[in-house]
Structure 1
Amino acid sequence: MIRRAFLCLVFAITAASAADPARVLIIVGPSKHPPGSHEVAAGGRVMQHCVEHMTNVPGVKADVVYEWPEKALRDAARTVVFIGDTFPANRLPNPQQNLADLDAMMKRGCGIVCVHYATGLLGEDVTIEGDHPLLRWMGGYFANRSCKHHESFAKIFPAATITPAAPQHPVSRGWKEFTLHDEPYTNNYFGRGNIMAPNVTTLATSMLPPDKPKRETVAWCVERDDGGRGFGIVMPHFYKNWRNDDLRRFILNAIVWTAKLDVPADGVQTTLPDLAEFKPEAVEYVPPPPKQKPAPTK
């Protein structure tokens, strides 16, 4: 009788654990960009909606936070997604503790995804040689012009064509080459000599700038020694570009892959509602007003 009760208890616990949804943690950092660009809070809500409405990867839940998350959320996450102006762990209060918390997550094999400027680090964040844990967790980063060791470049292009570079990789499933009016960063940093580590894979490239084209890595991934996976993508700058099915599927595939879930053969499928539903300041980009020249002194 005792043995039977014990086996029933074990079965119940196992069944409950199996029924627990995979959880994605989305951390939104601060941003000072004008309406229609970055829109990091609305972008976080877009990703949450898409993750929770994947028709061919059901049962995944996403938590969105706008400050550093509590331990329970960190412990529950299979992967953590960052969006913000530069890497949010360094911009939110207590950066050293934030990095220590992330280190604990990474050591247990948690995934990490950084979107657009969240791939970025400032000179104050890195050593003089450019070292930072993000280099190992994600495989590379955007080096802000304040960095002494390397300078990546941010420029908006009217038409940047994004080309798959690793068609056999699970993150490449179901999306094709696409062209966007956007700001894909170039000359991203992948380590000393700007040479990728053997465990880092280029997933997408673009020939930029148009006047002197060079094949630039604009999305990449890493399979880490701790068993975790990382992904960086330097788009979208403009909020409206979340409408692009190929870009959205690319990012969702990466979230699923870094969470160690199976990416479907045709990629993640979702239907996106009106972007205005996610409460951005503006769907379209609103450029800042031109600076007024000071009136000449008499």
Structure 2
Amino acid sequence: RGVKPFEINDEWYYHMRFREDMENVKPILTAVPPASTLDRPDGPHSGNPAVRAKVGQPQHVAWVVEREDGGRGFGFTGGHVHRNWADPNFRKLVLNALLWTAKAEVPKDGVASNVTPEDVEANLDPKK
């Protein structure tokens, strides 16, 4: 709710392997990764034939799951670039998902949160 399209640079993981027929899995963020993400040599955690075969196809990078027993979960492959927390739609996506997972009501326009650049930088460890 309330999340608008956004563009950020992150270390997104894609070509995720979901349950057969996506049973109880609902994608909430999907993107088409650029071919440039496959520039590295083949390997188990980089461009490999299975991943390369999916170039140009939409990939789910965030999803929710609701189990038959009522439990809920949220999967998200982003979050590697700290400055992305300054993006209001990136934050809203994650905050909405956290509320949903906790079975709390997600506001009609999503979770409002305001941070300053100083807030984002406040607790970073100094570079060594």
Alignment counterpart, residue 210 of structure 1, candidates 5, 15, 35: 35
Query: What's the TM-score, normalizing by structure 1?
Result: 0.34
Query: What's the TM-score, normalizing by structure 2?
Result: 0.76
Pick the structure with more helix per residue. 1
What is the CA–CA distance in structure 2 between the aligned matches of 1:177 and 1:210, rounded to whole Å?
21
Give the greater-gyration-radius structure (CA): 1
Displacement after TM superposition at 1:255 (Å): 0.6
Letter in 2 for 1:203: I
Identify the residue that residue 32 of structure 1 maps to in structure 2. none
Identify the residue that residue 230 of structure 1 maps to in structure 2. 73
What is the CA–CA distance in structure 2 between the aligned matches of 1:217 and 1:237, rounded to whole Å?
17
Runs of 4+ in 1 over 4 A off after TM superposition: none
Q: Residues 266 and 218 (structure 1 numbering): CA distance in 2 closer, same or farther, change over 3 Å? A: same
What is the CA–CA distance in structure 2 between the aligned matches of 1:213 and 1:180, rounded to whole Å?
18
Identify the residue that residue 271 of structure 1 maps to in structure 2. 114
Q: In percent, how many aligned pairs have the same letter?
A: 38
Q: Residues 201 and 189 (structure 1 numbering): CA distance in 2 closer, same or farther, change over 3 Å? A: same
Displacement after TM superposition at 1:209 (Å): 2.9
Identify the residue that residue 9 of structure 2 maps to in structure 1. 181
Displacement after TM superposition at 1:183 (Å): 1.1
What is the CA–CA distance in structure 2 between the aligned matches of 1:200 and 1:221, rounded to whole Å?
6
Identify the residue that residue 280 of structure 1 maps to in structure 2. 124
What is the CA–CA distance in structure 1 between the aligned matches of 2:6 and 2:22, rounded to whole Å?
27
Identify the residue that residue 51 of structure 2 maps to in structure 1. none
Relative contact order, higher structure (CA 8 A, sep 6+): 2
Gap regions ≥5 residues in structure 1: 1-172, 289-298
Pick the structure with more strand per residue. 1
1:247 paired with 2:72, answer: no
What is the CA–CA distance in structure 1 between the aligned matches of 2:72 and 2:13, rounded to whole Å?
22
Matches within 5 A, 1:152-191: 173-191=1-19
Q: Residues 245 and 196 (structure 1 numbering): CA distance in 2 closer, same or farther, change over 3 Å? A: farther
- What RMSD in Å do the two structures reach over aligned CA positions? 1.8
Displacement after TM superposition at 1:196 (Å): 4.3
Displacement after TM superposition at 1:197 (Å): 3.5
Identify the residue that residue 47 of structure 2 maps to in structure 1. none
Equivalenced residue count is 108
Alignment counterpart, residue 261 of structure 1, candidates 98, 101, 104: 104
